[in-house]
Amino acid sequence: MPTYLTDSGPLVALLDRSDADHEWARKQFDRVDYPVWTCEGAIAETSHLLAASGMPERAAMELVSRKIVAINFELKANIDRVMTLMTKYHHTPMDFVDACMVVMTEAKRDCQLITIDSDFHIYRRFERQVIPLIMPTR
């Protein structure tokens, strides 16, 4: 059974009913096993984006509290790999959360990343492997 990972985009879409991808995100989270793994950076980014839309920041943390989402990343142990990825993909550019998510896909080989970020089509785990993605069709 695969492990599911998510960055901030699907979390925002799940929590914000006015988001264009809300229904898609809801369907994805309805069909996967919990918890969906993420990093603290994605929770912080989700909280920030929710606040910018006038929504309560705590909604992202409530997903963690309700065990829908789990923080499963330690930056201290992965800082070198995160920095290497951000340097390699500086032209994209790869942000901090994206780099953490790629590292998480490397740590859990049998995984699928739920995302709306098309940059994950460019990124590679283990330098050459395509990242298994669950994305809306556009």
For every residue of 98-131, DSSP letters joined together read HHHHHHHHHH-SSEEEE---GGGGT-EETTTEEP
Is pLDDT of 102 > 80?
Answer: yes
Measuring CA to CA, which residue among 42, 43, 40, 49 is closest to residue 18?
A: 49
Superfamily of 3-134 according to CATH: 5'-nuclease (3.40.50.1010)
Mean pLDDT of the chain: 97
Task: Dig out the tokens for 102 from the structure.
Answer: 């790629």
39-78: burial string, b at 16+ Cβ within 10 Å, e else: bebbbbbbbebbeeeebeeebbeebeeeebbeeebeeeeb
pLDDT tens digits, residue range 54-96? 999 999 999 999 999 999 999 999 999 999 999 999 999 999 9
Q: Where are the domains of the chain?
A: 3-134
Local confidence band at 138 (pLDDT 50, 70, 90 cut-offs): confident
Distance CA 3, CA 93 (A): 26
| pLDDT at residue 4 tops 90 | yes
Which pLDDT score is estimated for 18? 95
How many other C-beta atoms lie within 10 A of the C-beta of residue 25?
Answer: 22
Tell me which residue has tokens 């590292």.
Answer: 103
Instruction: Tell me the angle at which helices 96-107 and 40-52 cross, rounded to the nearest 10 degrees.
Output: 140
The pLDDT value given to residue 16: 97
Query: Is pLDDT above 80 for 119?
Result: yes
The pLDDT score that the predictor gives to residue 1 is: 82
Q: What is the predicted pLDDT for the residue at 55? A: 94
Quick check: 115 pLDDT over 90? Answer: yes
With 90 as the cut, is the pLDDT of residue 97 above it? yes
In terms of Cα–Cα distance, which of 125, 128, 87, 83 is closest to 108? 125
Convert the pLDDT of each residue in 13-33 to its tens digit.
999 999 999 999 999 999 999
